[in-house]
Amino acid sequence: MEKRGAEAILSLEEDGLVKDRVRKGYRIEEIDEKIRKERTKKETKLLTEARRVGVNTPRIFGVRDFKIIMEFIDGEGLKELLNSDISDEKRSELGKKIGKSVGLLHKNGIIHGDLTTSNMILKDEKLYLIDFGLGDFSTRIEDHGTDLAVLKEAFKSTHFKHLDLLWQSFISGYKQTSTNSDKVIKVLKNIEKRGRYVRRSEN
């Protein structure tokens, strides 16, 4: 199995799932190497810290230069699962699981950076968050609100038929674990009023 993205190549090998950050030809080689090493190191820290505070993420087996060797989560992708023939009760349950996980991240100063259901996997009824490549450490309420704005846009574009149910369930779960939920939701509303949000992107 090999999957190529804008930032990295994912391949399933004997020692686990390998995420290899690819070289960007438009960058000076020395700068490119520095950026890739820094982002690899940061993502490793984010995954490890998220797991430490109670969020399910792939276990890290090792790091080599621009490669992260991690656990392969062989489960169901939430993007497909939420649009499949499941009950609204199950959707609501999954929405709450997402909310609790994101609330835990934010409570501990972790930003995912790309909260979409493509980056969520359900295995043995446990929700796993994957791909922290655009993540960061931040306690800023604005950053937490932006994280939520990205997720709400993902719900709108990918799960529009179930938007209200998923969002209400998400907020219910988020409030259970986030210590600043009211402030974050207020910031989110301001972001929505501006009619735009700044999504983290690759340079």
Average pLDDT, the chain: 93
Query: What integer pLDDT is reported at residue 43 of this predicted model?
Result: 97
Q: How confident is the model at residue 6 (pLDDT cuts 50, 70, 90)?
A: low
Q: How far apart are CA 166 and CA 168, in angstroms?
A: 6
Q: In the chain, helix, strand, coil percent, each to 5? A: 50, 20, 30
User: Cα-flanking dihedrals φ and ψ of residue 12, to 5°?
Assistant: -90, 115
- Strand 60-64 versus strand 16-21 pairing type: unpaired
Neighbours of 164 (CB within 10 A): 10
Task: Identify the structural domains of the chain with CATH numbers, from first to last.
Answer: 2-70 (3.30.200.20), 76-193 (1.10.510.10)
- Asked if 114 is an active-site residue, the reply is yes
Q: Is the pLDDT of residue 195 over 90?
A: no
Percent of the chain with pLDDT over 90: 82
Instruction: Give the closest residue to 115 by CA, choosing from 72, 71, 142, 145.
Output: 145
Which position among 20, 85, 88, 114 bears the catalytic label? 114
Please, are residues 55 and 119 in contact by the beta-carbon 8 Å criterion?
no
